[in-house]
């Protein structure tokens, strides 16, 4: 979007007034740092390629998909919700509420300790909203929220730290894969509807990636060498199909709003399958980790990561490298309907 500056010259302006982010460790910018949790990344070598090598709590060697998407939208780095002060002025460009180990279900991730579930993240957004109400008139706030982008990337932990952990959770005994996906979608739908009722009108809902292909799952030995764990990919495929249908439903039910499905599964599968076209060469193991596929034990404090990080798809047992995150962000921003349905983020911004 281009605007004329007061001097009459062409000047760019952000595509959205702000971005509000809900999710898990894929996009957590440090909200778990001060929680009593095993799900933390506030130690070296996390952040080795970000912030002069000082760890921030991001589960990556560098930037997350949200950081790269913010760049494309000309928004500053979003502050973690847990780093905000009561009088913080930096909330005007948005806030990131994502929490490692958090999921759609309340109990998801409890095996790793404290975390913010989706419902708690929505409550935290309401706290931010109360701050904004003290700064803006009602009409101004309404326009601001309607021009903001909400990004939600959740569901991975509902499988990795719930359904696929039968020794800790009973969900896989109670629910078939289809019934479990339905449960997740119904709970997800409820929280998205709450957010919509609070004022935002543009939503990007990211699907779950091919979890059966991450080093953590390859390290289980449940698949032949060089193959992803197909059963796990089948489980998340059911969820993703339902999420895409939910986007259609929301777009029918909420006239004047835009809901977009981010096909993370398809986009990430493309990166793995066609790695060389993206300048990547290592697709089946972590850059930092221990054991089979560097995925049996994730990146520990003071581990020495691989040197050629820009050639790896995976940073650790669970998370992509900054190189992969940048590709995913571009696909979300300007990709075809196969990556972002029914439109991409750039197209959303023009409506």
Active site annotation includes 15: no
Q: Which residues touch 346 (CB under 8 Å, ≥6 apart)?
A: 15, 72, 333, 334
- Residue 12: the pLDDT is 52
Q: What is the model's pLDDT at position 331? A: 98
Catalytic hit among 49, 67, 316, 339 = 316
Q: Is 311 a catalytic residue?
A: no
CB neighbours of 320 closer than 8 A, spacing ≥ 6? Answer: 26, 60, 65, 268, 313, 314, 328
Options 99, 148, 284, 319, the catalytic residue: 319
Distance from C-alpha of 111 to C-alpha of 104, rounded to nearest angstrom: 15
Enumerate residue ranges in the chain where pLDDT < 50: 1-11
pLDDT at residue 15, rounded to an integer = 82
- pLDDT tens for each residue of 208-233: 999 999 999 999 989 888 899 999 99
Superfamily name with CATH number, domain 2-349: SGNH hydrolase (3.40.50.1110)
Catalytic one among 15, 25, 67, 339? 25
pLDDT 10s digits, 62-109: 999 999 999 999 999 999 999 986 556 679 999 999 999 999 999 999
pTM above 0.85, yes or no: yes
Question: Taking the domains of the chain in order of start, what are their residue ranges?
Answer: 2-349
Q: What's residue 7's pLDDT?
A: 41
Maximal C-alpha separation, the chain: 66
Residue 290: strand pairing partners: 297
pLDDT for the residue 2:
36
Q: Is 175 exposed, middle or buried (0-12, 13-18, 19+ CB in 10 A)?
A: middle
Active site residue 25: yes
């Amino acid at each position: 979007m281009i605007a004329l500056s007061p001097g009459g010259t062409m000047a760019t302006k952000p595509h959205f007034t702000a971005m509000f982010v809900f999710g898990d460790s894929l996009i957590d910018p440090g909200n778990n740092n001060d929680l009593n949790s095993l799900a933390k990344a506030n130690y070296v070598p996390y952040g080795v390629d970000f912030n002069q090598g000082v760890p921030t709590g991001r589960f990556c060697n560098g930037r997350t998909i949200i950081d790269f998407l913010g760049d494309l939208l000309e928004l500053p780095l979003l502050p973690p919700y847990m780093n905000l002060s009561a009088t913080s002025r930096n909330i005007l460009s948005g806030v990131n509420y994502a929490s490692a180990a958090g999921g759609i279900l309340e109990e998801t991730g409890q095996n790793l300790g404290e975390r913010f579930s989706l419902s708690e993240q929505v409550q935290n957004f309401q706290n931010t909203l109360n701050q904004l109400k003290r700064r803006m008139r009602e009409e101004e706030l309404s326009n601001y929220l309607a021009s903001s982008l909400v990004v939600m990337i959740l569901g991975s932990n509902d499988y990795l730290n719930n359904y696929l952990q039968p020794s800790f959770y009973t969900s896989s005994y109670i629910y078939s894969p289809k019934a479990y996906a339905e449960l997740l979608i119904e709970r997800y739908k409820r929280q998205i509807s709450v957010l919509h009722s609070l004022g935002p009108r543009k939503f990007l809902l990211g699907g779950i990636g091919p979890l059966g292909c991450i080093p953590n799952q390859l390290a289980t030995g449940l698949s032949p060498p060089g193959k992803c764990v197909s059963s796990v990919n089948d489980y998340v495929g059911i969820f993703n199909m339902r999420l895409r249908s939910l986007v259609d439903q929301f777009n029918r039910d909420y006239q004047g709003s835009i809901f977009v499905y981010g096909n993370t599964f398809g986009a990430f599968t493309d990166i793995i399958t066609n790695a060389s076209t993206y300048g990547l060469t290592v697709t089946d193991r972590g850059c930092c980790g221990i054991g089979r596929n560097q995925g049996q034990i994730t990146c520990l404090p003071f581990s020495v990561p691989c040197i050629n990080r820009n050639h790896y798809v995976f940073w650790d047992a669970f998370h992509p490298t900054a190189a992969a995150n940048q590709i995913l962000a571009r696909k979300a921003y300007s990709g075809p309907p196969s990556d972002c349905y029914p439109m991409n983020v750039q197209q959303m911004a023009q409506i």
